[in-house]
């Protein structure tokens, strides 16, 4: 709720002296009071319980010297990094130039210890600059990182965090839209070294609902395009359900949140195709989970929310035979028309075809900004260019009949889906501080209320008089229920199976936004833009990885009444003390991040 954020403005912290509470079976929480409420908090730097130098040293030897203090790379542009462990000199002109150039690049961000795509969630407290005298502080970054190279390193970090009552963060690629891969003062376990990939023609890895076809087993850090590239090199070439974004991980937040991508219309979510996970549980056990071994955990890892039940070390997925595929593009922009009435007519007509596209087996990625719609690409897996052109013909005829100018070229034919992927999907870049939300629009609402849905689009682009044309949107047409997947194969919301468009909407904030400005934009997102989408598509749902975590009823929107209670039980069973936490995940209702986005605490 935006109110949670807002109320932070109105109160101040009252500190309670240093006694610690012992709760049975869990590390002691640190008592604090905030806004008149009693909390038990994780242990942070400055608390008496914070590990001693020797403890960190021992941890460092357990992880073979792979423990490091988190210093944002941007610190190279500043004289000092003033971290929790004191000020250190960091200025380095060459490194600063390098950081400044690479700052928006996904590949570079992925490779860092803790850097995020969405800087809003770092509190933008250390940014590239030409003025080295400006401050560089940790913001919402963690304090230490383990650059894990083995599963033993992951376990060592997990056990240390549990025993010492530290905030624990798993950071894979740093893509998360809600800041779930960072936490103030946390111990971070970075998993991007886990790059093993093993393809097999026949699944031999355990019970799998009778599936015996081809599979791949990947390490936690493997990213989408890297996986697809290796899949395309198999003989015969295969493919996998990954994200549209080339650099999103596959076994981390992606599959654990559900995981949709260009093949979802044909093969379902990544979660629908998972066969087995090797994980480390909150109590430090290595477990293999599949259909028969710990089926409740298996279910929860398939869409029940990222990083909530265990740390995934490896995951196995079905693979599918590569097929020739067709791709197309269609743009309406200011070169073609500056008449906004015509432009929105074009968007409306395009969107009225969403259900037809999904029925024809398509996946479509598109963006809608002020006066510019860019549909790139439309993907037809296992179809010819002629088939795709035939699917698009009614759309083009409708646009022409309405006098809407558009650009498109005949559909392109590709020997494989991977060739299409390389040609038509682009790297995305990290931009200025942004808040993101999204809504999955139901088929029946597109059929009955397309005009209302386009009004919600307009609200997202111009949510308020002072923010005219400041919004931006990205849409994904897919039908997770188009293929043969049973509705309950994964812990994804069943409403996804009867929906056609996952719409994301983004609102920018100033880099130096005050708390009042942040609360204002958060409130606008939740109470104006989200509301517009929910009202326009009441039968839709929301995607845990790509939606506003402060929305009301996130339990219902993310999972719904048939799935959520199972996940809440799962959390209670496998992580009763709350070692794993991220916002708006099952069973985290009793936890809050208090004191202006810093301490993670349990309500007492």
Ligand X SMILES: Cc1cc2nc3c(=O)[nH]c(=O)nc-3n(C[C@H](O)[C@H](O)[C@H](O)COP(=O)(O)OP(=O)(O)OC[C@H]3O[C@@H](n4cnc5c(N)ncnc54)[C@H](O)[C@@H]3O)c2cc1C
Residues near ligand X (CB under 6 A): 117, 169-177, 180-181, 191, 220, 243-245, 248-249, 252-254, 256-257, 259-261, 306-307, 311-312, 428, 545-546, 582
The Cβ of residue 236 has, within 10 Å, a number of other Cβ atoms equal to: 8
Q: Report if residue 341 touches ligand NAG, rule: CB under 6 A.
A: yes
Q: Which is nearer to ligand NAG, 145 or 289 (CB)?
A: 145
Q: Report if residue 335 touches ligand NAG, rule: CB under 6 A.
A: yes
Q: Which of residues 189-248 bind ligand NAG (CB under 6 A)?
A: none
Q: Report if residue 403 touches ligand NAG, rule: CB under 6 A.
A: yes
Q: Which is nearer to ligand X, 173 or 239 (CB)?
A: 173
Q: Report if residue 334 touches ligand NAG, rule: CB under 6 A.
A: yes
> From the CB of 181, what's the least distance to ligand X, in Å?
3
The Cβ of residue 125 has, within 10 Å, a number of other Cβ atoms equal to: 16
Separation CA 129–CA 274 (nearest Å) = 44
Q: Report the candidate in 248, 331, 251, 257 with the shortest Cα–Cα distance to residue 300.
A: 257
> From the CB of 27, what's the least distance to ligand NAG, in Å?
22
> From the CB of 79, what's the least distance to ligand NAG, in Å?
7
Q: Which is nearer to ligand NAG, 65 or 210 (CB)?
A: 65
Calculate the dihedral angle through the C-alpha atoms of 248, 252, 255, 256, rounding to the nearest 10 degrees: -140
Q: Which of residues 118-137 bind ligand NAG (CB under 6 A)?
A: 123, 125, 135, 137
Q: Report if residue 367 touches ligand NAG, rule: CB under 6 A.
A: no
Asked if 563 and 494 count as a contact pair (C-beta separation under 8 A), the reply is yes
Question: Interacting stretch for ligand NAG, rule CB under 6 A, among 17-25, 80-88, 162-170, 191-199?
Answer: 80-88
Question: Interacting stretch for ligand NAG, rule CB under 6 A, among 62-70, 224-232, 492-500, 550-558?
Answer: 62-70
> From the CB of 394, what's the least distance to ligand NAG, in Å?
20
* Buried/exposed 194-226: b ≥16 CB within 10 Å, e otherwise: beebebeeebeeeebeeeeebbbbbbbbbbbbb
Q: Which is nearer to ligand NAG, 338 or 590 (CB)?
A: 338
Calculate the dihedral angle through the C-alpha atoms of 207, 208, 214, 216, rounding to the nearest 10 degrees: -80
CA-angle at 581, arms to 580 and 584, nearest 5°: 140
Q: Pairing relation of β-strands 286-290 and 274-280?
A: antiparallel
> From the CB of 537, what's the least distance to ligand X, in Å?
19
**DSSP code per residue over 292-332:** SSSHHHHHHHTTS-TTSS-EEEEEEEE-EE---EEEEEEEE
> From the CB of 538, what's the least distance to ligand NAG, in Å?
30
Give 250's contacts (C-beta < 8 A, 6+ positions apart): 218, 222, 223, 224, 227, 240, 242, 243, 259, 270, 315, 317
Q: Which of residues 247-266 bind ligand NAG (CB under 6 A)?
A: 266
- For residue 507, the SS3 value is strand
Tokens of 536: 């326009």
Question: Interacting stretch for ligand NAG, rule CB under 6 A, among 220-228, 281-289, 329-337, 434-442?
Answer: 329-337
Q: Which is nearer to ligand NAG, 186 or 301 (CB)?
A: 186
Question: Interacting stretch for ligand NAG, rule CB under 6 A, among 22-30, 245-253, 327-335, 461-469?
Answer: 327-335
CA-angle at 355, arms to 353 and 356, nearest 5°: 65
Q: Which is nearer to ligand X, 126 or 248 (CB)?
A: 248
**DSSP code per residue over 205-221:** SS--TT--S-EEEEETT
Q: Which of residues 437-496 bind ligand NAG (CB under 6 A)?
A: none
| Binds 220: which of ligand NAG, ligand X, none (CB < 5-8 Å by kind) | ligand X
Which residues share a beta bridge with 501?
441, 477
Among 68, 287, 422, 487, binds ligand NAG (CB under 6 A): 68
Separation CA 395–CA 361 (nearest Å) = 16
CA-angle at 148, arms to 147 and 153, nearest 5°: 130
Q: Report if residue 432 touches ligand NAG, rule: CB under 6 A.
A: no
Q: Which is nearer to ligand NAG, 148 or 266 (CB)?
A: 266
Separation CA 496–CA 492 (nearest Å) = 7
| Binds 276: which of ligand X, ligand NAG, none (CB < 5-8 Å by kind) | none
Separation CA 288–CA 304 (nearest Å) = 17
> From the CB of 223, what's the least distance to ligand X, in Å?
7
Tokens of 363: 């996946």
Q: Which residues bind ligand NAG (CB under 6 A)?
A: 60, 65, 67-69, 80, 82, 87, 123, 125, 135, 137, 139, 184, 266, 323, 331, 333-335, 339, 341-342, 382, 403, 407, 513-514, 596, 598
């Amino acid at each position: 709720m935006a109110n949670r954020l807002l109320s932070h403005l109105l109160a101040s912290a009252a500190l309670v002296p240093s006694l610690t509470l012992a709760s049975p079976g869990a590390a002691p929480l640190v008592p604090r009071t905030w806004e008149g409420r009693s909390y038990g908090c994780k242990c942070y730097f400055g608390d008496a319980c914070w590990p001693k130098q020797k403890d960190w040293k021992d941890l460092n030897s357990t992880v073979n010297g792979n423990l490091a203090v988190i210093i944002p790379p941007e610190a190279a542009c500043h004289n000092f990094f003033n971290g929790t462990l004191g000020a250190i000199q960091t200025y380095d002109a060459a490194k600063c130039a390098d950081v400044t150039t690479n700052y928006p690049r996904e590949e570079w961000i992925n490779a860092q210890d803790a850097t995020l795509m969405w800087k809003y969630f770092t509190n933008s407290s250390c940014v590239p600059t030409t003025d080295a005298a400006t401050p560089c502080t940790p913001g919402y970054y963690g304090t230490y990182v383990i650059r894990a190279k083995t599963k033993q390193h992951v376990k060592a970090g997990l056990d240390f965090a549990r025993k010492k009552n530290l905030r624990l963060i798993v950071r894979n690629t740093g893509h998360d839209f809600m800041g779930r891969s960072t936490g103030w003062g946390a111990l971070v376990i970075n998993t991007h070294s886990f790059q093993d990939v093993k393809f097999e023609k026949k699944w031999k890895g355990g019970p799998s609902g009778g599936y015996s076809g081809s599979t791949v087993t990947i390490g936690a850090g493997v990213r989408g395009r890297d996986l697809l590239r290796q899949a395309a090199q198999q003989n015969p070439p295969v493919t996998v359900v990954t994200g549209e974004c080339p650099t999103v991980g596959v076994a981390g937040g992606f599959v654990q949140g559900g995981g949709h991508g260009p093949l979802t219309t044909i093969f379902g979510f990544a979660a629908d195709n998972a066969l087995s996970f090797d994980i480390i549980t909150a109590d430090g056990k290595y477990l293999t989970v599949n259909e028969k071994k710990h089926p409740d955990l298996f279910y929860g890892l398939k869409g029940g929310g990222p990083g909530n039940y265990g740390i995934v070390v490896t995951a196995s997925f079905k693979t599918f035979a590569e097929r020739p595929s067709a791709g197309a593009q269609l743009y309406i922009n200011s070169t073609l028309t500056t008449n906004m009435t015509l432009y929105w007519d074009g968007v409306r007509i395009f969107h009225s075809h969403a259900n037809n596209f999904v029925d024809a087996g398509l996946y479509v990625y598109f963006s809608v900004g002020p006066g510019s719609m860019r549909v790139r690409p439309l993907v037809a897996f296992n179809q010819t260019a002629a088939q795709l052109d035939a699917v698009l013909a009614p759309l083009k005829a409708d646009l022409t009949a309405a006098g809407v100018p558009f650009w498109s070229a005949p559909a392109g034919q590709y020997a494989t889906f991977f060739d299409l992927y390389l040609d038509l999907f682009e790297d995305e870049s990290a931009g200025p501080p942004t808040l993101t939300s999204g809504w999955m629009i139901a088929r029946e609402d597109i059929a009955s209320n397309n005009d209302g849905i386009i009004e919600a689009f307009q609200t997202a682009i111009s949510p308020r008089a002072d923010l005219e044309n400041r919004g931006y949107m990205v849409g994904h047409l897919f039908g997770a229920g188009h293929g043969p997947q049973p509705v309950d194969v994964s812990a994804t919301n069943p409403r996804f199976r009867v929906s056609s468009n996952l719409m994301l909407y983004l609102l920018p904030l100033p880099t130096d936004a005050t708390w009042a400005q942040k609360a204002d934009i958060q409130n606008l997102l939740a109470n104006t833009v989200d509301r517009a989408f929910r009202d326009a598509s009441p039968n839709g749902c929301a995607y845990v990885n790509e939606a506003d975590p402060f929305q009301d009823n996130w339990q219902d929107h993310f999972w719904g009444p048939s799935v959520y209670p199972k996940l809440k039980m799962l959390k209670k069973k496998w992580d009763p003390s709350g070692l794993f936490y991220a916002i708006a995940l099952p069973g985290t209702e009793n936890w809050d991040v208090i004191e202006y986005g810093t301490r993670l605490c349990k309500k007492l």
